[in-house]
Amino acid sequence: MEAENHLLYTKEHEWVNIEDKTATIGITEYAQEALGDITYVELPSEGEDVEQFEEFASVESVKAASDIFSPLSGKIIAVNKDLEADPGLINRSCFDKGWMIKIEISDMDEANNLMTAAEYTKFLESVG
Amino acid sequence: MLTQESLKRTPLYDEHVALKASMVPFGGWQMPVQYEGILAEYTQTRQAATLFDTSHMGEFLIEGDCEKTGFEHIVTMRLNDMPLKTSRYGMLLNEQGGVIDDLIVFRIARDQWFCVVNGGTIDKDARHIKEKLRPSAKFSNISMDLGKLDLQGPLSRDILKQYIPTIEKLNYFAFDYFDLLGENVLVSRTGYTGELGYEIFFPWDKIVDCWRTLLTHKEVKPAGLGARDVLRLEMGYSLYGHELSDTITPLEAGLSRFVDFEKDFIGKPALLTQKEQGIPRRLIGFTSTSRKSPRADNPLWSADKKMIGTVTSGSFSPAVGTGIGLGLIASAASEANFAKGAKIFFGEENNFNEAVISERIFYKKGSLKH
């Protein structure tokens, strides 16, 4: 399974791209494949606060709903509105057009709790 | 929870694994939920043709006069006026009017009946039928002798007629025996998808050949239980364990047209009492006003947020473009308030999602009767 090198990862298969104080968050290739065809994404609103490893969204596929957890704490500054009409963007482009939210990071040290691409790749091997 | 080891396997288990299907437990069987993806398999069924392994389903053979053996008294549909080589849908009821199972009965000869029942209820059904049949009847459970393939989709006839030229003459809910790949097999024009389609009952130990042969056609792809569930839900078809159970009556489930009140049958007195005293619940169809899908066991709420019932099945509907569901609601909650078009909510108490009561059929453009 592909893991993008410049990103950090959670055990729940979310990714985060940190650029200065902004973090872009989405779900990984492994997660989108496990979920299957995504039909609905329930996103939070801009201005809300999220906590590290707490639920901020839910993603539904044809058969199931899954909670998505935030890799970092912060204030939501953007949500991907394209997902409302085309939730399949996550299946087709999970690391790019299928991003979910952008936050302003409140505690940069929390990044130490996340996995690097190499660690995540190893983690994926361990979960089979 | 059943362990993987204790789950039964159909004769096509290795085929599914080779096709990289995701396998899930279903009614005591290990079954493919999807191969390529649920939506792709759904679309393939609506637009071309798919092949489903339904070998987990049960088959019984009952021999004897339907009235003298008491078989007529065991099922809700009328048997004695069925033309030969036709089939009829109905139910087995308990004394309380609850549904033991839903089934299709095929009349092979005047006194020869072939029954197709759900895979998860084979033992329960066999016990019930054997107990209620008179000794003059001959009952055989042939579930492990016969596998079953469902070829479904608008192109299914064109494909099947390359093997069975006379298949074109088979009408909806009719069946016959045909030569197929060297076997004489029962093929019926039935299915669970809302599309033109056939169910092929093939010898258990030879069905791999039939599966592989039909999949050589580029118009045919394998489809799993995931797509099957979306397809049947769009048609408003009941799924045992969801819309039907030992504690849900056919009147509540909206299936009274499959119950013949002109004859006597097990459970009829209970149904008549329900008719007289009022049917406690009724099954509704509803459409989410968003892409958010209802899920089985979600509570259902009235417009003023009083709990009125429970979702029995829910999914995203590709045909409608929103979530759709079936649910049982209390009839006491005034009938008039829950007419077609009425606003309701589904979801847990902290997460209400708006929906509108609709017909129990969500898709009407299928090739079913073409």
Instruction: Walk me through the domains of chain A, giving residue ranges and CATH numbers.
Output: 8-107 (2.40.50.100)
Q: Which of B104, B127, B126, B107 is nearest to B116 (CA)?
A: B104
Cβ of B315 within 8 Å of Cβ of A63? The answer is: yes
Q: How confident is the model over A100-123, as pLDDT tens digits?
A: 999 999 999 999 999 999 999 999
Q: Which residues of B touch A65 (CB under 8 A)?
A: 293, 295
Looking at the structure, give the CATH architecture of the domain made up of residues B4-52+144-234: 2-Layer Sandwich (3.30)
Looking at the structure, give the CATH architecture of the domain made up of residues B280-358: Beta Barrel (2.40)
Q: Could you tell me how far CA A76 lies from the centroid of its own chain?
A: 13
Share of chain A above pLDDT 90, in %: 88
Phi/psi for A89 (5° steps) reads -55, -35
DSSP B166: G
Relative to beta strand A101-105, strand A74-79 is antiparallel
The answer to whether the beta carbons of residues B271 and B251 sit under 8 Å apart is yes
Q: How far apart are CA A47 and CA B292, in angstroms?
A: 23
Give the model's pLDDT for residue B1: 46
Cβ of A87 within 8 Å of Cβ of B229? The answer is: no
Q: Could you tell me how far CA B127 lies from the centroid of its own chain?
A: 21
Cβ of B226 within 8 Å of Cβ of A87? The answer is: no
Task: Give A39→chain B minimum CA distance, Å.
Answer: 7
Looking at the structure, give the CATH architecture of the domain made up of residues B58-141: 2-Layer Sandwich (3.30)
Structure tokens at A94: 């999970």
Q: Which residues of A touch B292 (CB under 8 A)?
A: 40, 42, 60
Residues 6+ positions from B117 with CB-CB distance below 8 Å: B57, B58, B59, B60, B101, B103, B125
ipTM of the assembly?
A: 0.78
Q: Where are the domains of chain B?
A: 4-52+144-234, 58-141, 280-358
Alpha helices in chain B, H assignment, sequence order:
13-18, 38-47, 71-74, 122-132, 156-160, 207-214, 225-234, 268-277
Q: Using a CB cutoff of 8 Å and minimum separation of 24, what contacts does B122-125 make?
A: B122/B58, B124/B100, B125/B58, B125/B60, B125/B92, B125/B100, B125/B101
DSSP B21: P
DSSP B324: E
Strand, coil or helix: B110: coil
Task: Give B222→chain A minimum CA distance, Å.
Answer: 17
- Dihedral (Cα; A44, A46, A51, A57), 10-degree rounding: 20
Q: Across chain A, what does the average pLDDT equal?
A: 94
Relative to beta strand B299-301, strand A14-19 is unpaired
Cβ of A63 within 8 Å of Cβ of B291? The answer is: no
Residues 6+ positions from A96 with CB-CB distance below 8 Å: none
**Which member of B37, B229, B316 has the closest CB to residue A40?**
B316
Taking any CB pair shorter than 8 Å as contact, residues of chain B touching chain A are 33-34, 37-40, 42, 226, 229-230, 290-293, 295, 315-316, 323
Give the model's pLDDT for residue A57: 96
The answer to whether the beta carbons of residues B330 and B254 sit under 8 Å apart is no
Q: Provide the total of helices (H) and of strands (E) in chain B, helices listed first.
A: 8, 20
Cβ of A60 within 8 Å of Cβ of B293? The answer is: yes
Rounded to 10 deg, the angle between the B225-234 and B38-47 helix axes is 60
Whether the CB of A104 is below 8 Å from some CB of chain B: the reply is: no
The answer to whether the beta carbons of residues B166 and B85 sit under 8 Å apart is no
Residues 6+ positions from B368 with CB-CB distance below 8 Å: B172, B191, B194, B195, B196, B197
Per-residue pLDDT of chain B (370 residues; tens, 9 = 90+): 445 568 999 999 999 999 999 999 999 999 999 999 999 999 999 999 999 999 999 999 999 999 999 999 999 999 999 999 999 999 999 999 999 999 999 999 999 999 999 999 999 999 999 999 999 999 999 999 999 999 999 999 999 999 999 999 999 999 999 999 999 999 999 999 999 999 999 999 999 999 999 999 999 999 999 999 999 999 999 999 999 999 999 999 999 999 999 999 999 999 999 999 999 999 999 999 999 999 999 999 999 999 999 999 999 999 999 999 999 999 876 565 678 899 999 999 888 999 999 999 999 999 998 9
Q: How far apart are CA B53 and CA A66, in angstroms?
A: 28
